[in-house]
């Protein structure tokens, strides 16, 4: 299998991968809710970080627990648990972010038998001077809880290994994303989505190895498709591959993203400091923020714009997960901000399953307006 194909294979066979990993290593698999869970600690403990994602299939099992007015991604995630698709998990961890995720986590631990459950009170107000000193204490408690659960100390050498593997993964993801900057881009948005999303549930050593091989493959690649318009994808938790495929089939390439299933997960490395836990916890306080943690100053908007500029995006699709209020609050202002800075936008409202036909018409119309700009 070519290296690039591995990511697609992992994406579609994530459960088989986790079961096989568990059998092969004898290690624990811990389901993670939200990209704010410090995967370094899980890796240091010899556990597999396994991001709980939805399936983009219709489901009818969550209504007894979550109202339909909660975000479809969180409902889809709980549905996967209720259907037993994550029955190999030994534990689950939530890092505090939004109320939708909290509901999913609470319902999961109430209704799906799980050995280890942990709520990590990640601060919201990451711009507060006290955020770092508070969070390092919480990360220390999380580490202690994992040690107690596993019956084994996490040593400094373990932490070093966790930090190095995750940082290396971030560096390699950056490196392969560089191929999206070229004209034409050597990597499609669909391929990038497979690559970035799988980092959230594949063993870092394996993922890093595949990234190194894939980078070599992509470097030698000759692009034989017309890339069309260069687009950016902005949103929350949008790993709907079929949507990306559709966009890239109508005369566009998604060259960069700003979302949890992409850059927001890996964009910054942990800065190495003498205190290992501070190294880890600061990384999450300093990372490009989710809208749930972006105040009082808006730090996310300039970051989004800079990504658009660096990757020469000609337009942006703002993917609004329905009922995701953190993004609903930002999007009218973000739309204006991008447009005032020369990046036209198209807003689409996403559910777990999306109407690709109507979306196709809207994307095509958007691309048409961008091409018109070129004409005149």
Partner 1 sequence: MTTTAPKKKGRALNSSYEAAIVLKEYWEGAARHRAEGRPVAWVSGNVPIELFWALGIYPVYPENYSAVCASIQRAQELCEEAEERGYSIDLCSYSRVNLGIVLGKGVDHPDLPYGGLPRPDMLVTTRIPCLPQVKWWEVVREFFDIPMFVVDATMVDLPIRESQRQHYLGQIRELIPCLEKKLGVRFQEDTFLETLKLSDRAAEIWLELLDLRTAVPSPVGSREMCGNVFPLVAMLGNPRTIEFFTHLRDEAKQCVQEGKGALENERIRLGWDNIPMWYNLKFFSDVEDRNAIFTYETYLRYVWGGRMDLNDPWTAFADKHLDVWLNYSINQRVRTLLHDIVKFKLDGLVFHQNRSCKRFSMGQRDLAQVIQENLGVSSLFIESDMADPRAYAEAPTRVKMEAFLEMLEGKKS
Q: For residue 226, give every residue at least 6 positions away whose Cβ sits within 8 Å of its Cβ, in sequence order, or none.
A: 184, 251
Among 127, 353, 364, 117, which Cα is nearest to 246's?
Answer: 364
User: How many angstroms separate the Cα of 175 from the Cα of each of 170, 272, 369?
Assistant: 9, 20, 32
**Dist. CA 152–CA 28, nearest whole Å:** 12
- The yes or no reply on residue 302 touching partner 1 (CB under 8 A) is no
Decide if 231 contacts 247 (C-beta within 8 A).
Answer: yes
Q: Where are the beta strands (DSSP E) in the chain?
A: 29-33, 48-51, 91-95, 116-120, 229-235, 252-258, 315-321, 345-350
- The yes or no reply on residue 31 touching partner 1 (CB under 8 A) is no
Nearer to partner 1, 272 or 333 (CB): 333
- The yes or no reply on residue 119 touching partner 1 (CB under 8 A) is yes
Q: Which of 32, 50, 103, 345 forms a contact with partner 1 (CB under 8 A)?
A: 103
Nearer to partner 1, 210 or 277 (CB): 277
Q: Which helix (H) or strand (E) holds 140?
A: helix 131-150
Q: Which of 6, 14, 28, 100 forms a contact with partner 1 (CB under 8 A)?
A: 100
**Least distance between partner 1 and beta carbon 337 (Å):** 10
Stretch that binds partner 1, among 85-93, 168-176, 216-224, 294-302 (CB under 8 A): 294-302
Residues for the chain: how many in total? 376
Nearer to partner 1, 267 or 295 (CB): 295
**Least distance between partner 1 and beta carbon 248 (Å):** 27
Nearer to partner 1, 31 or 123 (CB): 123
User: How many angstroms separate the Cα of 308 from the Cα of each of 79, 231, 312, 326, 340?
Assistant: 34, 8, 6, 21, 13
Stretch that binds partner 1, among 45-53, 104-112, 176-184, 357-365 (CB under 8 A): 104-112
Q: Scan residues 306-345 and list those touching partner 1 (CB under 8 A).
A: 320, 322-323, 325-326, 328-333, 335
Q: Which residue has the tokens 């999913």?
A: 104
CA 289 to chain centroid, in Å, comes to: 12
**Least distance between partner 1 and beta carbon 109 (Å):** 8
- The yes or no reply on residue 9 touching partner 1 (CB under 8 A) is no
**Dist. CA 181–CA 62, nearest whole Å:** 41
Size of the site for partner 1 (CB under 8 A): 48
Show the binding pattern over residues 222-261: x = contacts partner 1 (CB under 8 A), - = does not. ----------------------------------------
- The yes or no reply on residue 96 touching partner 1 (CB under 8 A) is yes
Q: What angle do CA 37, 331, 187 make, to 5 degrees?
A: 65
Nearer to partner 1, 235 or 326 (CB): 326
Q: Scan residues 200-229 and list those touching partner 1 (CB under 8 A).
A: none
**Dist. CA 72–CA 67, nearest whole Å:** 10
Residues that bind partner 1 in the complex, under the rule CB under 8 A: 63-67, 69-70, 96, 98-100, 102-103, 106-107, 110, 119, 121-125, 128-131, 133-134, 137-138, 141, 291-292, 295-296, 298, 320, 322-323, 325-326, 328-333, 335
């Amino acid at each position: 299998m070519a290296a690039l194909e591995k990511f697609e294979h992992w994406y579609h066979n994530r459960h088989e991968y986790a079961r096989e990993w568990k059998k092969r290593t004898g290690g624990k698999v811990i389901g993670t809710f939200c990209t704010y869970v410090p995967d370094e600690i899980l890796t240091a403990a010899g556990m597999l970080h396994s991001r709980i994602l939805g399936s983009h299939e219709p489901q009818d099992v969550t209504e007894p627990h979550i109202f339909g007015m909660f975000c479809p991604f969180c409902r889809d995630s709980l549905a996967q648990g209720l259907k037993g698709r994550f029955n190999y998990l030994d534990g689950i961890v939530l890092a505090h972010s939004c109320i939708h995720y909290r509901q999913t986590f609470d319902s999961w631990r109430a209704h799906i038998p799980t050995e280890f459950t942990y709520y990590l009170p990640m601060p919201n107000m990451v711009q507060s001077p006290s955020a770092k000193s508070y969070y390092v204490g919480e990360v220390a408690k999380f580490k202690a809880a994992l040690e107690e659960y596993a019956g084994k100390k996490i040593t400094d050498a373990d932490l070093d290994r966790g930090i190095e593997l995750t940082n290396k993964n971030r560096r390699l993801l950056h490196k392969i994303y560089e191929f999206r900057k070229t004209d034409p881009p050597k990597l499609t948005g669909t391929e990038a989505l497979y690559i970035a999303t799988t980092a959230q549930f594949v063993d870092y050593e394996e993922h890093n190895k595949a990234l190194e091989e894939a980078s070599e493959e992509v470097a030698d690649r000759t692009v034989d498709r017309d890339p069309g318009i260069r687009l950016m994808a902005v949103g929350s938790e949008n790993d709907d591959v079929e949507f990306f495929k559709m966009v890239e089939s109508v005369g566009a390439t998604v060259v960069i993203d700003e979302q949890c299933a992409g850059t927001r997960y890996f964009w910054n490395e942990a800065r190495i400091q003498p205190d290992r836990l501070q190294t880890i916890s600061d990384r999450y306080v300093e990372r490009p923020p989710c809208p749930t943690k972006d105040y009082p100053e808006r730090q996310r908007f300039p970051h989004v714009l800079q990504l658009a500029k660096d990757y020469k995006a000609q337009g942006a699709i703002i993917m609004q997960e329905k009922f995701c209020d953190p993004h609903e609050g930002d999007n009218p202002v973000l739309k204006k901000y991008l447009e005032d800075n020369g990046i036209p936008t198209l807003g689409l409202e996403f559910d777990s399953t999306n109407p690709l036909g109507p979306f196709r018409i809207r994307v095509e119309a958007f691309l048409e307006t961008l091409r018109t700009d070129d004409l005149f």
